[in-house]
Chains A and B, each alone.
Chain A
Amino acid sequence: MSSTDNPTGNFESAAANGSAEVAQFDEPSRSFVKSVQYALHVHPALIPLIILVLSVAGFGLVLGQRFFSPFALTLILQQVAIVGIVAAAQTLVILTKGIDLSVGAIMVLSSVIMGQFTFRYGFPPEIAILCGFAVGGLCGLISGVLVAVVKLPPFIVTLGMWQIVLASNFLYSRNETIRAQDIEANAPILQFFGESIRFGGAVLTYGVIAMVLLVAVLSYLLNNTAWGRHVYAVGDDAEAAELAGVRVKRTLISVYVVGGLICALAGWVLIGRIGSVSPTAGQFTNIESITAVVIGGISLFGGRGSVMGALFGALIVGVFGLGLRLMGTDPQWTYLLIGVLIIGAVALDQWIRRVSA
């Protein structure tokens, strides 16, 4: 079999390889499965990428131009921009074997701060935006300290923070929405991420570009800096990381703070997306971000996966959502399929983890 992929004319080695394989009838097929398992192990974003490509191709075949147009495809990007950004924050936390249920709430509170500081107190909108980021980072810092120093389980900490932040959001905003026209007239920078670049039918909002850039930067940081490697090590085995000299507490806190800042960014993008500042927006972002992360092949048990995978996960959900809507099916089919994908993705993760030995 190796003679076909050996065009160099090295017949001796080809023959040597061939003779050894005669006796091992079962080996190739088993080692093929093993090597697939190994490849997935090293590149966990591979499966979501394949599913994404297949689903785009599938819907493209069925729906033709209606789906396979620059407009529809970029519409998907616009629809997933916010979930994609929040999923990046969620990825960081889940990589450390945690979970952040407060991401959606932090996003909304940050957007409300950006809006209210501008309109209630007359802050320059740029300063108000910085305040929004500060509040997002602070929420992350509180969660981070509770998880890393007080050693409470992340699920409980962020379940509490979710309620606290969301309630603060409603109390502080007095449940009032700032209208899109007012923002456009007085503080257009708040809607910055709603602006777009158009070419042909394609519409790329700045929010979409921000999402892509964010994922690229985080990917780079996670793979090429000591901080990134430490995030993985802490999620893999915190005790081992500590013994190896990683400052586990600092790493954990930094992850929650960066997560909070990313949520604040999502809050700013949210204003661009919906135009107004609404304390009731983004109710499902929490669950949607976790869905994207899980479908994206990031292990809930920590230490495995990539931000790229989370982006693919968000896109898969977006592709199914738009594709099925264009086909005129009941939207419940989308949820049903996403449910199947989630369970399938976790089952696959368990399988990949068994690659050892």
Chain B
Amino acid sequence: MSEKFVLQAKGLVKRFGRVVALDHADFELRAGEILAVIGDNGAGKSTLIKSLSGAMAPDEGEILLEGEKVHFSSPMAARNAGIETVYQNLALSPALSIADNMFMGREIRRPGLLGKAFRMLDKKAMDGVARRKLSELGLMTIQNIRQPVETLSGGQRQGVAVARAAAFGSRVVILDEPTAALGVKESRKVLDLILGLRAKGLPVVLISHNMPHVFEIADRIHIHRLGRRIALINPKDHSMSDAVAIMTGAMAPPQSQAA
């Protein structure tokens, strides 16, 4: 019981009018693992993720980050605590450059008076860090760091968003449907990126509908149904069809939770 989790939620409740999106949901993420979160449409996955990433405040329940109770009033608060989220729509500004996007909301200022009084940006430093982060993830097929994001392919955009999360996420990276809009090749690349994050020791929460992807890279699978976690399974012990059956209610969830 006293196992230490990087990120944990207990009894989260979120209501929208008469709809209960989260019904005493629990969530646990261990250090260094890839935890997949799956669930049918409307099961409350997005609400759960928004609660964890600070985009939404739950009505009840508590969230613990490395054992300590936290309250995120905004995405920025969660981010400052080291939780980075890559949203499904990526939260990129298409007309701005890759470097601008990577530092959106936490720009590097010039040192001294220029930065403090005139809030002048240190574009060189920003470009440099952006370039380094992208090459670390093997994404330097992108030649020009000042290129507007909308000139990139879907996979490259995803890459920029993941690179941004990896660059700033010190404790947890949450990815919402990172492969949903991508082709086979680009999905492959993004899955490799996720494995790369785990190799760096960052725990990853992966929300996905794509069972082959989930079963390929996840260490554990959190199955969400009707606003709560009904099972936590190990992909090695269960088949994809089991997972789908549990998710849709066709099969009773296993009694013992995955170790």
Contact = CB atoms under 8 A, between A and B. Distances in A.
Interface of A: 38, 41-42, 224-227, 229-230, 232-233, 236-237, 239-246, 303-304, 355-357
A239 B89 CA distance: 10
A227 B92 CA distance: 17
B120 A232 contact: no
Nearest to B123: A224
Please name the 6 residue pairs, one residue from A and one from B, whose CB atoms are nearest each other, closest first: A245-B105, A243-B91, A356-B150, A244-B104, A240-B91, A236-B93
B95 A240 contact: no
B79 interface: yes
A229 B92 CA distance: 13
A226 B119 contact: yes
A225 B121 contact: yes
B217 interface: no
Given A226-B119, A243-B75, A245-B76, A237 B148 contact: no
Nearest to A356: B150
B100 interface: yes
A11 B111 CA distance: 46
Interface of B: 55, 75-76, 79, 85, 87, 89-96, 100-101, 104-107, 109, 118-121, 123, 148, 150-151, 153
B105 A244 contact: yes
Contact of A236 (B85, B96, B121): B96
Contact of B107 (A42, A229, A240): A229
A298 to B, nearest CB: 12
Nearest to A44: B95
Contacts of B93: 232-233, 236-237, 240-241, 244, 303
Nearest to A302: B95
Contact of B121 (A226, A242, A245): A226
20 contacts: A38-B151, A224-B120, A225-B118, A225-B120, A226-B119, A229-B107, A229-B121, A236-B95, A237-B91, A237-B93, A239-B91, A240-B87, A240-B90, A241-B93, A243-B85, A245-B79, A246-B104, A246-B105, A303-B93, A303-B94
Contacts of B150: 355-356
Given A227-B119, A355-B150, 7 more contacts: A230-B105, A232-B96, A240-B91, A243-B55, A244-B75, A244-B93, A244-B105
B56 to A, nearest CB: 11
A245 B106 contact: yes
Nearest to B78: A245
A226 B120 CA distance: 7
Nearest to B87: A243
A104 to B, nearest CB: 28
Contacts of A38: 151
A355 B151 CA distance: 7
Contacts of B55: 243
Contacts of A239: 89, 91
Interface SS majority for chain A: helix
Contacts of B94: 236-237, 303, 356
Contacts of B148: 41-42, 355
Looking at A42, A226, A239, which has the most chain B CB atoms within 10 Å of its CB? A226
Contacts of B106: 245
A229 B119 CA distance: 12
A354 B43 CA distance: 36
A240 B75 contact: no
A90 B235 CA distance: 57
Contacts of B101: 244
A241 B153 CA distance: 20
Contacts of A303: 93-96
Contacts of A230: 104-105
B154 to A, nearest CB: 8
A242 B151 CA distance: 22
Given A236-B96, A304-B95, A226 B75 contact: no
A303 B150 CA distance: 12
Given A42-B148, A241-B93, A233 B104 contact: yes
B163 to A, nearest CB: 13
A236 B105 CA distance: 14
A244 B102 CA distance: 9
Given A226-B107, A356-B150, A244 B91 contact: yes
Nearest to B149: A356
A230 B107 CA distance: 10
Contacts of A355: 148, 150-151
Given A243-B55, A355-B150, A355-B151, A229 B104 contact: yes
Nearest to B150: A356
Nearest to B164: A244
B162 to A, nearest CB: 14
Nearest to A229: B100
B41 to A, nearest CB: 21
A232 B92 contact: no
A41 B149 CA distance: 12
Contacts of B120: 224-225
B104 A356 contact: no
A224 B121 contact: yes
